[in-house]
Amino acid sequence: MPSWWGKSSSKEAKKKPNKESFIDTLHRKFKIPSEEKGGIRSCGSRRRSSDTISEKGSRSRAASRSPPPSNHVSRCQSFAERPHAQPLPLPGLHPAIIGRTDSGIGVSMKMKLERCSKSSLCLPLPKPGCIPHRPDVTDADGDLACPSVSSDSSIDSDYPVDSRHLSPQTTDYESGTRTVNSPSRTMQREHSPMITRKNSREVLKPTSPSFNNQILSTSPKRGPLSNYAPNLQIPPRGAFGSAPDSSMSSPSRSPMRACGTDQITSSSFWGGKPCPDVLLLGSGHCSSPGSGHNSGHNSMGGDMSGQLFWQHSRGSPECSPIPSPRMTSPGPSSRIQSGAVTPLHPRAGGAATDSSTGWQEDGKQSHKLPLPPITVSNSSPFPAPSSPSTVSSNLPRSPGRAENPTSPGSRWKKGKLLGRGTFGHVYVGFNSESGEMCAMKEVVLFSDDAKSKESAKQLGQEIALLSRLRHPNIVEYYGTETVDDKLYIYLEYVSGGSIYKLLQEYGQLGEHAIRSYTQQILSGLAFLHAKNTVHRDIKGANILVDPNGRVKLADFGMAKHITGQSCPLSFKGSPYWMAPEVIKNSNGCNLAVDIWSLGCTVLEMATTKPPWSQFEGVAAMFKIGNSKDLPEIPDHLSEDGKNFVWRCLQRNPLHRPTAAELLEHPFVKNAAPLERPILAPEPTEIPPGVTDGARSLGSGHVRNLSSLELEGLANYQSKGARGGLASSDHMLRNISCPVSPIGSPLLHSRSPQHVSGRMSPSPISSPRTPSGSSTPLTGGNGAIPFHHLKQSAYLHEGFGIMPRSPNSLYGNGSTYHDPRPDLFLGMQPGSHVFRELMSSENDALGKQFGRPVHGDPRELYDGQSVLADRVSQQLLRDHVKSNPSLDLRPGCPMLRRTNGI
């Protein structure tokens, strides 16, 4: 172990002779000479003694102005602050093949220029027979074969309070195996000494003893081990059959077009075999260094290469404000990923790829659609027999079609850019037929070097996992299709963008919002963990918020299913949010890493930055992994908030509560909805026919999904997870709110349109919000709740009707029951379905909020007309302000209209 790694425990080294720190590995991989290590160490000590944030920032900025050609040098310089260290480029590398990843790593790339050869283009074909036998989510992860590894660690439940010094003895306890069922650890935690900075002893005392008494032991069910092979398993071949039906698409013909048939017919990418030759290259990776359009492919993965370097995505809409572009920014893309795809893939054309998306400054595309796949198998189980996709996808190719393809299945048109990620760009997708929106993640596929396997695997994992996860707080996966060399992943569109983006735009969140978001994140995590799946990249940038304040976990590229009680930790995640045991590469628990990251995310929400963001990357990781320090917890957080964070940031993973346990913490248990209380008018009758309207709308959506041949959805539905409600449930749930009710200011509150949630697109949108998430009428609180504005429905989905008890939450261990209050839309109180649903809903509501639910339960769910009145009155008031002559006395016609008098 290198000496600079600190005074790392020799004891630990003895205990784990085979274990190596990531730093160690880094040194080996990047061959950092020992002198540099010495330099780093000395600089490290220098930093401890004298550095300041401003100093570091200026150094970083200075360094960033002239990026060195050799990345490890830049890292060293950045970390060790060696002004003289400007090494020459590595010899023997032609400039053209020295790439620089988004994380700043020089990469030698194999310039494969063979086009369309079967071997290079053809993705590994699935065995068709594999698709129906896909394992359940519990078997779906790509890293499945992780054996259960027992801990060799000693557990130290004491936390000596020393935030100033790094002690070699501090790390031993951190590598324990997390035992989920550990009732005793509640008490252990209870008596754990506080370990934060000054005042932490006072502020971090558990403030709610009752909480501890309420902590439940959970025992997430573990799925059987499976020999399932990690793949991009995907949609049936028919899924290829469509292209985003857009006039806006790839500007240049893809090299793969020439072999479209081969691509489809011989593609094994989609079905079950490993894909050894697949490179997934997001457009964002194709940017030239400094183009400002790098995707932040900075995630850490199992491979150590590139792990210690990250930059935020300067070209991303979610651009970190943290100044140093090198190794410093804890921005949304500060994830370091081993499976990093090569950024200068020859076929990507370097910077040209960015333009390949054809996005101009104004956000409009100028290019045409990529060619749709030509031959599509009819064997897909998904499209309805009459689906246009089936028909059109078998149309013979014609020049006209090539240039202006009839989308065989998808009617999604690619819209504006939402963001850039590791694998590609994410756009709004719009379905002109149904008027609905989705998020389209566009990933460029390449068959290339072995390095891409990890990327392919990660993307495959994300798809495989997401397609099986259905939860209100997890972004929904709709389906996948390929067009030429592009893979489109269709996801639920969460128009508010990520928490990270909100923080950058609006500053830190108030505690009210933090509680609410945290509660919802926990709900999603509890669901995920109950499936023995760990997200591993929880952070603000991966948590999306809809206009109603509903939170959705996203980006499951790092997610992993745990097949044993524990398995070796991969070095994955985003450094600033990374749990110590991950950084130390210690064996042990896995689920608990999400809890640590959640604690970091709470701090991020409270301060706009993750913990240790004042440190550059490696230093921060050193701090996390090799010290006993805890980040400062802001004073303005309540005692409950501080206690919550403290519990999450237990260095010993065994001492962290589970997500289910944390749901009982007072900080989140009593989280109130963000939505403002609605002044309820008299209950209104829902016009007949509304239900039909809503259903028909939903049907359109499902048709649409079917045409995309959504394997995940079909799987889900075929399992009958929700019985007969599955279809309509899904439909209605996906009637998101891409439109605003404010299109018509004086719209009658009982308009069927209003109730059905279909209005004209809002003319009001925040110019600063790329995703168009907010409207000003709510005073900066986002768009006026609309589709889910039904207050109780909102309460239900977002704030706690999730059963608290693991037993009730995960009941049979397989099915999450999501009653989906949308179903109440338009239901008449006397209807059978309505009664059936409401009986359980009332119970849940009563229990949840500690009050009985009386009367017509429909009142709880009928918020549409309430909203209409509210909006109308608001608009009216605004209107009156500018028109004082208006008569607003009781009984005036206008009030009669808006109040339904």
Ligand X SMILES: Nc1ncnc2c1ncn2[C@@H]1O[C@H](COP(=O)(O)OP(=O)(O)OP(=O)(O)O)[C@@H](O)[C@H]1O
- Active-site amino acid positions: 537
Q: Is 299 in the site for ligand X (CB under 6 A)?
A: yes
Give the shortest CB-428-to-ligand X separation in angstroms. 8
Longest CA–CA span in the chain (Å) reads 86
Of 490, 414, 399, give the one whose Cα is nearest residue 251.
Answer: 414
Query: CA 842 to CA 848: how far, in whole Å?
Result: 10
As a whole number of angstroms, the distance between CA 382 and CA 479 comes to: 11
Q: Compute the distance between CA of residue 722 and CA of residue 726 in angstroms, rounded to an integer.
A: 5
Q: Which residues of 471-494 are buried (b: 16+ CB within 10 A; e: fewer)?
A: bbbbbbbbbbbbbbbbbbbbbbbb
Candidates 143, 277, 442, 492; binder of ligand X (CB under 6 A) is 492
CB of 654 to ligand X, least distance (A): 29
Report the sign of the C-alpha dihedral through residues 325, 331, 333, 335, in that order. Answer: positive
| Residues forming a β-bridge with 280 | 445
Min. distance of Cβ 698 from ligand X in angstroms?
19
Should residue 463 be labelled a site residue for ligand X when binding is judged by CB under 6 A? no
In this structure, how many other beta carbons lie within 10 angstroms of the beta carbon of residue 45?
A: 11
Check binding of 332 to ligand X (CB under 6 A): yes
By rule CB under 6 A, what string of x and - marks binding of each residue 434-453 to ligand X?
A: -----x--------------
Least distance to ligand X from the beta carbon of 475, Å?
5
How many of the chain's residues bind ligand X (CB under 6 A)?
30
- The pair of three-digit structure tokens given for residue 584, joined into one six-digit string: 């130390």
Segment interacting with ligand X, rule: CB under 6 A, options 444-452, 488-496, 628-636, 692-700: 488-496
**Residues 239 to 298 in contact with ligand X, rule: CB under 6 A:** 282, 296
Instruction: Return the number of other C-beta atoms located less than 10 Å from residue 752's C-beta.
Output: 18
Task: Name the one range near ligand X by CB under 6 A: 60-68, 349-357, 463-471, 550-558.
Answer: 550-558
**Shortest distance, position 840 Cβ to ligand X, whole Å:** 30
Nearer to ligand X, 170 or 311 (CB): 311
- Taking the CA of residue 372 as centre, how many other CA atoms within 13 Å lie in the half-sphere pointing to its CB? 35
Of 177-185, 194-202, 493-501, 864-872, the segment contacting ligand X by CB under 6 A is 493-501
Shortest distance (Å) from residue 335 CB to ligand X: 6
Q: Which stretch binds ligand X (CB under 6 A): 57-65, 537-545, 561-569, 684-692?
A: 537-545
**CA-based end-to-end distance of the chain:** 78
Return the number of the residue (220 or 424) whose C-beta is nearest ligand X.
424
Name which of 462 and 841 has its Cβ closer to ligand X: 462
Nearer to ligand X, 131 or 341 (CB): 341
Q: Which helix (H) or strand (E) holds 72?
A: helix 71-80
* Of 418, 445, 530, 649, the one binding ligand X by CB under 6 A: 418
In whole angstroms, the minimum distance from the beta carbon of 223 to ligand X comes to: 25
User: Which of 419, 573, 712, 772 forms a contact with ligand X (CB under 6 A)?
Assistant: 419
Q: Quick one: which of 346, 421, 524, 588 contacts ligand X (CB under 6 A)?
A: 421
Nearer to ligand X, 105 or 259 (CB): 105
- Name the residue among 313, 489, 316 with its Cα closest to residue 414: 489
Compose the 762-801 pattern: x for residues touching ligand X by CB under 6 A, - for all others.
Answer: ---------x------------------------------
Phi and psi at residue 840, to the nearest 5°: -80, -35
Query: Do residues 264 and 238 lie in contact, with contact meaning Cβ atoms separated by under 8 Å?
Result: no
235 binds ligand X (CB under 6 A): no
Q: Which distant-in-sequence residues (6+ apart) come within 8 Å of 420 by Cβ?
A: 282, 283, 284, 293, 294, 295, 296, 313, 315, 316, 317, 333, 426
Distance CA(603)–CA(584), nearest Å, equals 22
Nearer to ligand X, 256 or 494 (CB): 494
Give the interface segment with ligand X, choosing from 417-425, 603-611, 744-752, 868-876 (CB under 6 A). 417-425
How far apart CA 758 and CA 697 sit, in angstroms, is: 9
Minimum CB distance to ligand X smaller for 238 or for 424: 424
Task: Work out whether 555 is an interface residue with ligand X (CB under 6 A).
Answer: yes
Q: DSSP class of residue 479?
A: E
- Site for ligand X contains 497 (CB under 6 A): yes
554 binds ligand X (CB under 6 A): yes
User: Cβ distance 99 to 111 under 8 Å?
Assistant: no
Query: The dihedral of CA 494, 495, 497, 498: what is its sign?
Result: negative
CA atoms of 692 and 269, how far apart (whole Å):
40
d(CA 535, CA 582): 13
**Which residue has the closest beta carbon to ligand X?**
421
Candidates 23, 280, 525, 544: give the one binding ligand X (CB under 6 A).
544
Q: Does 541 bind ligand X (CB under 6 A)?
A: yes
Q: In angstroms, give the least distance from the CB of 354 to ligand X.
A: 15
DSSP annotation of 615 reads S
Give the nearest distance from C-beta 576 to ligand X in angstroms: 13
Min separation Cβ 474 and ligand X, Å: 11
Which token pair is 406? 């009839």
Measured between alpha carbons, how far is 78 from 327 in angstroms, rounded to an integer? Answer: 8
Please report how close the Cβ of residue 314 comes to ligand X at its closest, in angstroms. Answer: 13
Q: Which of 81, 139, 174, 318 binds ligand X (CB under 6 A)?
A: 318
Considering beta carbons, is residue 271 or 296 the nearer one to ligand X? Answer: 296
659 CB-contact burial (10 Å; exposed 0-12 / middle 13-18 / buried 19+): buried
Region binding ligand X by CB under 6 A among candidate stretches 344-352, 485-493, 653-661, 873-881: 485-493
Q: Which residues are annotated as a binding site for ATP?
A: 441
Which of residues 309, 359, 493, 646 is near ligand X by CB under 6 A? 493
Are the C-beta atoms of residues 467 and 730 closer than 8 Å to each other? Answer: no
If the CB atoms of residues 318 and 862 are measured against ligand X, the closer one turns out to be 318
Number of H helices, E strands in the chain: 32, 12
| Nearer to ligand X (CB atom), residue 26 or residue 553 | 553
Query: Contacts with ligand X in 182-201 (CB under 6 A)?
Result: none
Binding site, annotated residues: 441
The string of DSSP codes covering 416-449 is EEEEE-SSEEEEEEEETTT--EEEEEEEEEE---
For position 475 contacting ligand X by CB under 6 A, the verdict is yes
Q: Does 729 bind ligand X (CB under 6 A)?
A: no
**Is residue 499 within the footprint of ligand X (CB under 6 A)?**
no
Among 79, 269, 423, 834, binds ligand X (CB under 6 A): 423
Residues that bind ligand X (CB under 6 A): 282, 296, 299, 318, 332-333, 335, 418-424, 426, 439, 475, 491-494, 497-498, 541-542, 544, 554-555, 557, 771
